[in-house]
Structure 1
Amino acid sequence: MSTDQPKTWYVSFGVPKKLRKSSAQRYPRLSESFPTELDAQNFARQKFEQGYVVTAGTINPCTPRRAIPSTVIHHWFAETSEQPLAEPASFEVIKESDLP
């Protein structure tokens, strides 16, 4: 039995055309896949800081589907991948005698 998590996120990156050297012409874009959004964000941030054009998203059939274009990738970095757990609403029982 394998303990590997299924890879549900991808990060695609490439050198901008204006910076591409002749040796990079052959492979203008590459992709990596990751089991978690946090892993994908960390990798994407590294590539972005190195000057690559970065896009990311979920791999089908993962739902909810998500695609992050390069134009808004910096907003995705600012998101927290783990949403805080909301506690169920609690209601106080107010007795009629407690009302003003």
Structure 2
Amino acid sequence: MSIDLTKVWYVSFEVPKRIRKASAQRQPRQSETFPTEFDAQRFARQKFEQGYIVTAGTINPCTPRRAISSAVIQHWLAEASEPPSVGPATFEDTKAPDLP
């Protein structure tokens, strides 16, 4: 079994028993993997809004390790509502100014 090190986050979701259909009982819990925390949060938000029980976290051996339980998933989803912005690179002139 090979490990895909480009995917470091997982989201696991389960349809609650009160809304589970007979066809879903064979696989009550499923998981997806993602390369970034933002991608995982976006997917988790979709499943959470559909009424699923959602957990998430980082995949070993990735560090720092994080595990987000279903009890605190709403707080984790609120952490990032948009992707982190990366501004343009800046150049700082480190040489001394020319003296007259």
Q: TM-score range by the shorter chain?
A: 0.7 to 0.9
| Structure 2 counterpart of 1:31 | 31
* SS at structure 2 position matched to 1:45: helix
Alignment of 1:2-41 (within 5 A): 6-41=6-41
Q: Percent identity?
A: 75
- Unaligned segments of structure 1, at least 5 residues: 83-100
* SS at structure 2 position matched to 1:56: strand
Distance 2:66 2:5 in 1: 19
Distance 1:64 1:57 in 2: 10
Residues 43-71 of structure 1, C-alpha deviation per residue, up to 9 Å, x if partnerless? 00000001110000000000010000001
Report how many aligned residue pairs link the two structures.
81
- CA drift of 1:17 comes to 1.1
- Root-mean-square deviation (CA), in Å? 2.1
- CA drift of 1:22 comes to 1.0
| Structure 1 counterpart of 2:59 | 59
Distance 2:30 2:73 in 1: 17
Which one has a bigger Cα radius of gyration? 1
Distance 2:23 2:6 in 1: 33
Distance 2:47 2:53 in 1: 8
Residues 4-39 of structure 1, C-alpha deviation per residue, up to 9 Å, x if partnerless? 970000000010011111111100000000000000
Is 1:44 aligned to 2:36, yes or no?
Answer: no
